[in-house]
Structure 1
Amino acid sequence: MRVFRVCCLAIAVSWAGGVAYSEDIPLPEGDIILKVSGAIENTNLGDTVQFDREMLEKIGMVDLVTATPWHDGRISFSGVPLRSLLDFVGSQGETIVAVALNDYEVEIPVSDAFDTEVILALTMNGEVMSVRDKGPVFVIYPYDSSEKLNSQTYFSRSAWQVAHLIIR
């Protein structure tokens, strides 16, 4: 875990030109698609970090191909590893409350970010996800990578249309 934190700090340093503290994380220039608050060290607006799509993409994107219970066949998603986002904001909590645009809430253990390859998907099959397509942010696990992840426990943690993450 320590090696990963150094890696993410390097991303923050190269992106912001210094350690990612409130004065170093820029304000979003585009539409805000995700807000992170709660037990975090790094902010850009008050006690939150607000991200537009470009800011999230700069943290680093990965691809994940998996079957889901909501789609036919295997789907290709691209997004930010949840652990990268948590490291970027300086997460200090043990639980993430993902809040959707319709105020639906689900709790995700922070340990999922480090024990699985869960991502905050921004694209599906190469297309930016609209609200109609469960976007702009969709919590996706590699469901078909293990029997454990291909279960109702992880399906229920997979919130879509996520607008806010609260770290507790």
Structure 2
Amino acid sequence: MTKTLSKAWITAGKTALLAVGLFSASVSFGLDTPEGRVILTVSGNISETNADDTAVFDYAMLEALESHTTVTSTPWHDQQMTFKGPLARVLLDTLGAEGDTVRAIALNDYEVSIPVEDLLEYDVILATHANGNPMSVREHGPIFVIYPYDEHPELNRETIYARSAWQVNRLIID
């Protein structure tokens, strides 16, 4: 009798653990809800969302992601600049993104496809600050896709410059 009872409890325990495991795997607590003005909307093949099937971010939410600073020259500035913002690959990881490309879309509807491979190989940032100041729309904000040009000379070419979209407010993961 004890052996049968023990087997029953073990079976029930395994079933309960399996149910808890399945429940926790299927429940997503998602991202925080933005408290400030939304500056970035991410859609496409992502598993973490906070607004229907998209992920929306305000400045505070982007700043809460692992930040990175890049000091580099660009074709658009007369001097070396210091850019700060989350690493693009950290954002993708945070959202459970899966895909081969990220389409970056600017306020003026300029759109460019960025290979995810670039974001994994290089410290590409979604810059929200330049020289210590938040970037306004007038200064290429709210988000400027910045590659570490000075660290990797192979990035100094037109193809990569075209991927460095500014005034970005949308990303689509394909």
TM-score (norm 2): 0.83
* Partner residue in 1 for 2:162: 156
User: Residue type of the partner of 2:127?
Assistant: A
* Partner residue in 2 for 1:63: 69
- 1:31-46 map, 5 Å: 31-46=37-52
Q: Structure 1 vs Structure 2: percent identity of aligned residues?
A: 52
Q: Structure 1 residue 22: deviation in Å?
A: 5.1
Q: RMSD over aligned Cα, in angstroms?
A: 1.5
The answer to whether the 8 Å contact 1:22/1:44 transfers is: no
* Partner residue in 2 for 1:30: 36
- Give me the whole-angstrom Cα distance separating, in 1, the residues matched to 2:161 and 2:106: 15
Larger Rg belongs to:
2
- Could you say what secondary structure the match of 2:154 adopts? coil
* Partner residue in 2 for 1:14: none
The answer to whether the 8 Å contact 1:22/1:45 transfers is: no
Q: How many residues align?
A: 150
**Residue segments in structure 2 that go unaligned for 5+ positions in a row:** 1-23
The one of 102, 113, 120 equivalent to 1:114 is 120
- Give me the whole-angstrom Cα distance separating, in 1, the residues matched to 2:30 and 2:110: 32
- Looking at secondary structure, tell me which structure has more strand per residue: 1
- Give me the whole-angstrom Cα distance separating, in 2, the residues matched to 1:37 and 1:131: 22
- Where do 4+ consecutive residues of structure 1 move more than 2 Å? 21-24
The one of 114, 126, 143 equivalent to 2:149 is 143
Q: Structure 1 residue 99: deviation in Å?
A: 0.5
TM-score (norm 1): 0.86
Q: Structure 1 residue 62: deviation in Å?
A: 1.1
- Give me the whole-angstrom Cα distance separating, in 2, the residues matched to 1:166 and 1:22: 21
* Partner residue in 1 for 2:10: none
User: Residue type of the partner of 1:84?
Assistant: V
- 1:28-107 map, 5 Å: 28-107=34-113
